[in-house]
Structure 1
């Protein structure tokens, strides 16, 4: 779930540049696995058009495509190709103009967005400032059930200051608001259509009306979602080569692997490690590994959990053999992390060097140290030594990860009891506190959508956050993060974040495990799609085409 647009999305089992290879090293304090595969941001540019592409959503069928409500793998994967945001996320997690061509701040509490002219919705109506205002304002209405309300926390007004200009005013300065415009929060919907569709907007019945490179053609519940090329798309460099893309909902790993190997499915993001082993040497296509903003960590579900004591969390971290975990569970496609914050989100920003300096100053990822871990458990003296951890039924990667953690816990007198929940139950943990009864922790398979770490960390450290389940309350951390969010100087904001990070990394009871790489499989007849996790908020399918120059 996002808050603000920084998802803890749980899987159901949970670039615009030329081909760029990048190593996984550099500025990581010796964190990386030596067996890590080479990463690529995107795939070779497509050469020809395609009549049809069949793509899979391994996390299942979306419940909505309303940009205000998307906050999980499946809906984001589809919606990003339908509804353009005001700013565009590149494959390297940097920001570029989108439906807003420029922006400036006449003062720290005012943001002015200059809108692109000549943009039309799928029905031919021109996009104006009124559509942008309606799209943003509706997310302030509780009836919309937007997942982006935290992004609007400091907004005092959103008004049209011209036919193609919008002015946002804040009660206090908010540097995160602009960055939140790269995804569903910043997507522009046609105001008249929104009013007509009402609560059915974004559903199979209500449909959508956006400006993106594809338009929603059909949604057959339980079968497929079909999108068709928007031949009038404003960005001529991104007019799709594929005429039609059909999204299927195969969630079983072995079934998906067979469909990819047979050519029935052309491609998929979020390939599991088990499927990756079967696909990586296939003649039918290519398995790509890309940089990712995904993060895997163990998080206590209540202040009464044994794991809520940071000493117990640190002890469990000390008996987790991450090298073995990455090799055996993630098939080498992950990296060790000093914190639960993936580095991709700040590596290409204005203050990247400042963030990197703060990260490098943190203690290294701990080596296995059973003696030290035993001492920490002894000091904590938890009343209960059994830690009941929730994970998604059928999610073999999380189950295997917890099996590793359980083996380490046994060495220090702790017991991990794994409780497998159905996906809807597991997702419900993040909304309904009654579902967390009887649990001590959950395995989080999260991702950060916004190229900034502040909002994601705030979810776990702010006393006001509904996700602060441990009642963590460090006044210095809260103050530093508030100041960082209010700063309009990127370097100053990053330095304030670094100071907060140096504090919460010592006393926030989270067990960082790994930062997985993105895994995408692409049939050999296709190319062009980004391999980076940034696909989650990019019009990635518009880059997809045939490997040759002719039609396919």
Structure 2
């Protein structure tokens, strides 16, 4: 145990500068199908910028309250506003954030030594009390937070010094440690948040944090503007951009036009259609990076005929994934064999062991229409079309589900496409009432923390937030618990590998592809991280002007 505690202390004490080295990850999924290499970083931006306009292709955020942030758009913004206790680097490694050091003093005490001298945007000091409040509010019913499960092993959260907070736990919990890089680990000012109440994180309630940018304005239906925090504690990341304006652009054609004209400077999650047009125009650069993303087809509720794994296997066998990757992702994705793509554990000490376990999973079968039709005959074809949800206006998701619709038709299964407005699409992940009339949901998801066991548990454990079909697998749950509480990296990896082998073939999910991060910046800016780690780091603080 002592060796493990030392390793953790070294991990969080390492300089963030070391995390900017390029890394494509290892094992499966390290290179895109197109053959282009992946990079975690882009050339540094040097010059000052008055304004950067950035697109949010998934639409307007539903909230900017870190405790409720669990989707692309809000997390892309909040990562620049609210500092987390630990911070992710572009290569998915974990480094210091508001906590200079995080150490397991023993199996029951995770000690956070806070950075002195940090202030909120209003100039008031960040204190252990704010940290305690921010973590505790995750489980307050009035908060309606989504990260409360990260505190499952925590018995108490206490200020134990003028710059120290200790989390008392039932057992060692590696998931708790890793969650500190996500919005779960974001620290908000207690006084401001308590006064705002239910309005915290809304266009009228605002937020109060300590990040490199401040929230300046939120114009519903149009844009969010953040401005530079000149008093930011991390001198290396004091922004070069005076302000960043986030525009909500969900239509692919509109986005392409705005990027080509220079009206919008950059975007993460660049759609393939836009990428093709921008590659020809040569007015900027498309950057491909490693990502912890997954595209899956998930049944919406326990009652749907799609919850039967045999029907899902039939649909899976009907899909030509290589054609899907080529047509819907421009070749920039790999086959997905289970819930978590390998970059999830790229920075784990047992990454080689975890990669080997993933590679040992059965190969993706198909397309095999004959076997698929046999399975449909066995389970019985649904008597009505399977209603499948995607976000309205998203051409990529429409292309994916249209591809699936054509494949399903070949085996006697009809799919009805239902396009939901972005807010409703985002809400369905947390509101079961929205999913009642949905048989399938095309999920373009991601692993937020570099913690595969906790991510999987949210879909596999009985009663978990994303276990929409009442799936039960006690052995997998037991092994996931073991993986989360094991202090030794090899022991944790072994338990996760066994759990993965247990749930992968039986969980009611169709694993489709693992996309790579695709980001665009025009010629006047550079510096933004190219990997999916941008979701857990103040990526806009890296932006700067170029010479051209």
Q: TM-score, normalised by structure 1?
A: 0.91
How much has 1:168 moved relative to structure 2? 0.5
Quick check: 1:296–1:340 contact (8 Å CA) kept in 2?
no
Distance 1:183 1:109, change over 3 A: same
Query: C-alpha displacement at 1:33, in angstroms?
Result: 6.2
The residue number in structure 2 matching 1:27 is 27
> Counterpart of 1:48?
47
Distance verdict in 2 for CA 1:274–1:357, change over 3 Å = same
Residue 64 of structure 1: aligned partner:
63
Structure 1 position 16, deviation (Å):
5.3
Report whether the alignment pairs 1:77 with 2:79: no
Q: What's the counterpart of residue 261 of structure 2?
A: 262
Equivalent in the alignment of 1:212: 211
Counterpart of 2:493 in structure 1 is 494
- The match for 1:465 is 464
2:308 maps to which residue? 309
SS of corresponding position for 1:68: helix
Q: 1: CA distance between counterparts of 2:87 and 2:157?
A: 20
- How far the C-alpha of 1:480 sits from its partner, in A, is 0.9
Which shifted more, 429-438 or 37-46? 429-438
Report if aligned partners of 1:54, 1:267 keep a CA contact under 8 Å in 2: yes
| Shift, 1:124, TM fit | 2.0
Alignment CA distance shift 1:86-1:311 (3 Å): same
Q: Does 1:358 align with 2:354?
A: no
Deviation per residue, 1:469-508 (Å, 9 max, x gap): 2221111111111221222222211211110110111111
Q: Which residue of 1 aligns with 2:4?
A: none
Q: How does 1:324-339 map to 2 (within 5 A)?
A: 324-339=323-338
Q: Which residue matches 1:9?
A: none
- Deviation for aligned residue 1:84: 0.7
Q: Which sits farther off after the overlay, 407-416 or 291-300?
A: 407-416
Residues 270-315 of structure 1 show CA distances to partners (whole Å, capped at 9, x for unaligned) of: 2111111111232321121221111110011233333322222222
The residue number in structure 1 matching 2:199 is 200
Matches within 5 A, 1:303-452: 303-381=302-380, 384=383, 386-452=385-451
CA distance in 1, matches of 2:47, 2:142: 44
RMSD: 2.2
Alignment check: 8 A CA contact 2:30 2:38 kept:
no
Residue by residue over 1:155-212, the C-alpha shift from the partner in whole angstroms, topping out at 9 and shown as x without a partner, is 2110000010101012343221111110211111222222333333223333322211
CA separation of 1:401 and 1:250: change in aligned 2, threshold 3 A: closer
Are 1:227 and 1:246, in contact at CA under 8 Å, matched by a contact in 2? yes
TM-superposition CA deviations, 1:422-480 (whole Å, max 9, x none) = 33333343333333334321111111110011122112211121432222111111111
**Alignment partner, residue 110 of structure 1:** 109
Give the conservation status (yes or no) of the 8 Å contact 1:36–1:335. Answer: no
Distance in 2, matches of 1:235 and 1:243, equals 16
In structure 2, distance between residues paired with 1:436 and 1:18:
40
Q: Contact 1:340 / 1:513 at 8 angstroms: preserved in 2? A: no
Answer yes or no: is the 8 Å Cα contact 1:103–1:111 preserved in 2.
Answer: yes
Question: Residues of 2 paired with 1:211 and 1:284: CA distance?
Answer: 35
When residues 303 and 223 of structure 1 are mapped into structure 2, their CA distance, relative to the original with a 3 A threshold, is: closer
Name the counterpart of 1:231: 230
**Paired residues of 2:116 and 2:163 also in contact (CA < 8 A):** yes
Contact 2:127 2:163 in 1 (8 A): yes
Task: Report which stretch shifted further, 332-341 or 378-387.
Answer: 378-387
Paired residue for 1:168? 167
Change in 2 beyond 3 A, CA 1:149/1:22: closer
- CA–CA distance in structure 2, aligned partners of residues 91 and 32 of structure 1: 16
